[in-house]
Structures are given as C-alpha cells and as structure tokens.
C-alpha cells in the first residue's frame, strides 16, 4: 500500500545545533561483520599537527586502490568509512578521531580461512603503513571464526604460541573470545572471536567493544609511567614540608610569639618564603600530571563499562577479561589515583601550614607594633613632662622680661617728676605679670589641644 504524503506543517525556528546534536548518536555506527572476518586495528597517538595529516594519507590510500570516492565525503568528520577494492581483495576501512588519538581499522571477509593465516594489513602498502602519522600505541589482529561447536582452551592455544589465555563465553554464551594480551613479532596482539550464534550486527558490536577495551586499556596505562616518575618528586616535597613543619613546631614550643623581635620575624618570613617556593613546585607538578591522571580514570571507567557489555560467562580453566583487568590493570590505575590523591593532599597540607605560618607572622607583627606603640606612648609622656617644664620656664622668662619693662617704665615716670617708686612698682607687677603669663600659656595650650590642626 502506497503511503500518503504527509501534509506540510509549519514549525518554529530550529535551534542551530538541532541536526548536529541529533546526528551525534549516529556518528560512530558499528560495522556489520561476516561469519568469518579478518580485522586489523591500530591506534596512533601524537601531537594535534601530526594527527591532522591523516586525511591526506587516507586519500593516498584510496588512490592506491584506484577507488571512486563518494562525492559528499567529509575528511574532517569524526568517522570516515571507505571501501577499498582491487583485483586482489575487497576491504572496508574505518578511520575515527578521538580526543588524544586516532584509530584505523580494516575489515576483510575471510571465508574458509584459518585464524590468523594472514593479517588484513598485508593488503596495504608497507611504505604507506610505515609512514602513518603519529606513534603506534595499539595494534590488533582480530579474527572472527565461524564455529558451530564451543572451543576449549587447548583447541585454540596453538594460535597464541602457547601463551596463557584469557577469555571465555561472551554475549551470554552466543560466542567465545580468546586472547593472550601479548605483542608478537608483527607488533600486534591477537584476539580470536569464536562465533557460535551471534548475528552480523551483534558480532560487529562485540568486535568493536573488544577493540575499544584494548585501546582504552593502553590509553589508561599511559598515566602509569607518569605516576612512577611523580612519586619520588612527591616524596622529596613531603620531606621538605616535614622539615619546615618541625622547625615551626620547635620555635613555637620554645619561644613566646609576643616577645619575638625583628630577628624572629625575619626567620618566620624566611620559612614562609620556603613554603611558598614548595607550594609553587607542587602546583607545577600537579599542572603537569592532573590531565593525565584524570584521563586515566576516564579511560578505566570506559574499560569497565565495555567489559560489562561483553556479558561474560566463565569457561573452566581460563581467566575472564574482568578478572584479568582487575588483577593487571586495576593496580596500575589505583597507583595513578593514589598518586593524584597524594598530590592533592600535599597541596592541602602546604596550604594549611602556610596559613598557620602567616598567622604566626601576623601575630609577631602585631606584637611588634604593640611594642612600638607602647614605646611611642612612653616618649609622648616624657615629651608632655618636658613640655610642662618648658611652660613653667616660659612663664618665668616672660615674667622676668615683663617686670624688667615695668621697672624701666617706673624709672622713666619718676624722672618725669611723678611720685612713683620703681621698687614698689616692680614688687606689685611681679605676681600680676606672672599670673597673666601663666593664664596666656594655658589658653594657648588649651587651644592647641582642641584644635590640633
């Protein structure tokens, strides 16, 4: 029955990111696999500029196979899917961009082939592989094997050169996975997927999870050497902090902060300078490693989630992926987490001790300022007494000179013939002049006290 055309419906203005956000859930679809398939997967790390050269190399690869590119291909997309065909083979290639690495996968149908008889990478030019941008961190040869019967460890041990196997049933028993996590002579590790009853999409999702587990495991382990290099530097900083703390405790126990002089203040200022330098070095170290440790925790979380999605069922005599990761990857990640926590706690300890030392310095400065104010108060009292003494002398001096003037005036009046006795005039003027001088000096002092400016 022919479906009728939907009537046009007017819609409001669309959000500019609506299509982009909706397409995000479809950005990395899984590859549907044949019952037997060779998969070659690599993950490359490097600087942004180095990894940005990958599209150019992919175009070179396409030219090598003389394939027709889709007209709408976007070389800046997070995932690029290519079909590579020639008279020798038919390959499906997938390129994916991630935050810190890029991955490249090849898929080749392998009907009637034996596991690991050859690698899908042999279909590529050795020169093209050798000149790939970046550094190889992960290399995997995976083979999906169409198995009607369940395999025992001894049935597949020969494909792994006798190494200890890890694996078991996956997809609730619909398939089996085996690996040895060893890097062979071709710089790759091997994963064997025995497909008993998984469909093409289900097996594609299973293979993608396995490739992601190994890739994220290696990305998480990049932080482990950083943690081992960080621990000695943290120990050195912790020892320096202990020395400073012991010096502070020793001085606080034997000395009175309120009685500290300028020498004690200089010693505390020196300790504060050492603490500030130590805090700066720890913060520099934290800035160098914080991103790596945070990334390790994020990658480890992804590994745990992908392993849970395998839905493992134990195979007697073989370690499961969950057990292997818990015993081998878990300690390394916990070391990174412990190093990050130890680094953070050291920064907090330095901050607390710095605050204590600053408080000590402030108390010493306040005590020194108090002593200075007390000294200034004592000097002011002395100056007041001197001022009072000077005021008394001033009254005497004013009285002396004023009485002298009165004496001269009385003698002059007597010469003019008036009946004035100069000695009586001087005697009477002395208390009057002294009182007037004293009152004048008191008035001036009172004015200055009420109007200091």
pLDDT of residue 24: 72
pLDDT of residue 294: 95
Name the percent of the chain in helix, strand, coil, to the closest 5: 60, 15, 25
What is the C-alpha separation between 86 and 91, in angstroms, rounded?
Answer: 9
What is the C-alpha separation between 414 and 144, in angstroms, rounded?
Answer: 146
pLDDT of residue 264: 64
pLDDT of residue 67: 74
pLDDT of residue 253: 59
What is the C-alpha separation between 199 and 222, in angstroms, rounded?
Answer: 35
Q: What is the mean pLDDT of each run of 10 residues along the chain (453 residues)?
A: 60 82 73 92 94 92 80 84 82 93 95 92 93 96 94 93 92 95 92 95 95 97 96 94 86 58 70 88 93 95 96 94 94 95 94 84 75 79 73 75 78 76 76 79 73 62
pLDDT of residue 256: 56
pLDDT of residue 371: 74
What are residue 104's DSSP bridge partners?
42, 95
pTM for this prediction:
0.78
What is the C-alpha separation between 233 and 222, in angstroms, rounded?
Answer: 19
C-beta separation of 211 from 310 below 8 A = no
C-beta separation of 206 from 315 below 8 A = no
């Amino acid at each position: 029955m022919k479906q009728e055309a939907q009537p046009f419906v007017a819609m409001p203005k669309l959000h500019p990111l609506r299509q982009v956000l909706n397409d995000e859930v479809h950005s990395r679809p899984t590859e549907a696999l044949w019952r037997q398939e060779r998969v070659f997967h690599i993950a490359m790390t490097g600087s942004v500029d180095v990894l940005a050269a990958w599209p150019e190399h992919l175009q070179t690869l396409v030219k090598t196979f003389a394939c027709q590119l889709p007209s709408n291909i976007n070389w800046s997309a997070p995932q690029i899917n290519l079909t590579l065909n020639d008279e020798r083979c038919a390959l499906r290639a997938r390129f994916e961009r991630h935050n810190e690495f890029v991955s490249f996968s090849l898929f080749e149908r392998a009907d009637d082939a034996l596991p690991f008889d050859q690698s899908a990478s042999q279909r590529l030019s050795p020169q093209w592989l050798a000149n790939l941008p970046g550094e190889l961190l992960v290399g995997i040869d995976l083979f999906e094997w169409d198995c009607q019967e369940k395999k025992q460890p001894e049935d597949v041990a020969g494909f792994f050169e006798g190494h200890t196997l890890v694996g078991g049933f996956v997809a609730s028993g619909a398939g089996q996975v085996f690996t040895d996590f060893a890097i062979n002579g071709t710089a790759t590790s091997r994963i064997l997927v025995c497909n008993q009853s998984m469909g093409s999409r289900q097996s594609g999702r299973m293979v993608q999870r396995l490739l992601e587990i190994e890739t994220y495991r290696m990305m998480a382990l990049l932080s482990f050497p950083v943690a081992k290099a960080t621990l000695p530097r943290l120990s050195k900083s912790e020892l320096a902090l202990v020395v400073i703390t012991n010096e502070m405790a020793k001085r606080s126990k034997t000395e009175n902060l309120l009685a500290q002089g300028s020498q004690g203040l200089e010693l505390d200022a020196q300790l504060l300078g050492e603490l500030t330098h130590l805090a700066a070095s720890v913060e520099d170290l934290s800035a160098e490693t914080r991103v790596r440790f945070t990334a390790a925790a994020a990658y480890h979380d992804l590994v745990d989630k992908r392993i849970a999605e395998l839905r493992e069922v134990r195979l007697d005599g073989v370690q499961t992926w969950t057990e292997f990761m818990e015993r081998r990857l878990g300690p390394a990640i916990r070391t990174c987490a412990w190093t990050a926590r130890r680094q953070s706690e050291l920064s907090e300890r330095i901050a607390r001790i710095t605050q204590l030392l600053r408080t000590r310095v402030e108390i010493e400065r306040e005590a020194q300022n108090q002593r200075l104010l007390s000294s200034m108060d004592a000097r002011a009292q002395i100056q007041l007494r001197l001022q009072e003494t000077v005021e008394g002398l001033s009254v005497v001096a004013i009285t002396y000179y004023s009485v002298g003037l009165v004496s001269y005036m009385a003698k002059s009046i007597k010469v003019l013939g008036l009946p004035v006795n100069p000695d009586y005039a001087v005697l009477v003027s002395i208390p009057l002049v002294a009182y007037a001088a004293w009152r004048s000096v008191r008035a001036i002092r009172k004015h200055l006290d009420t109007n200091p400016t």
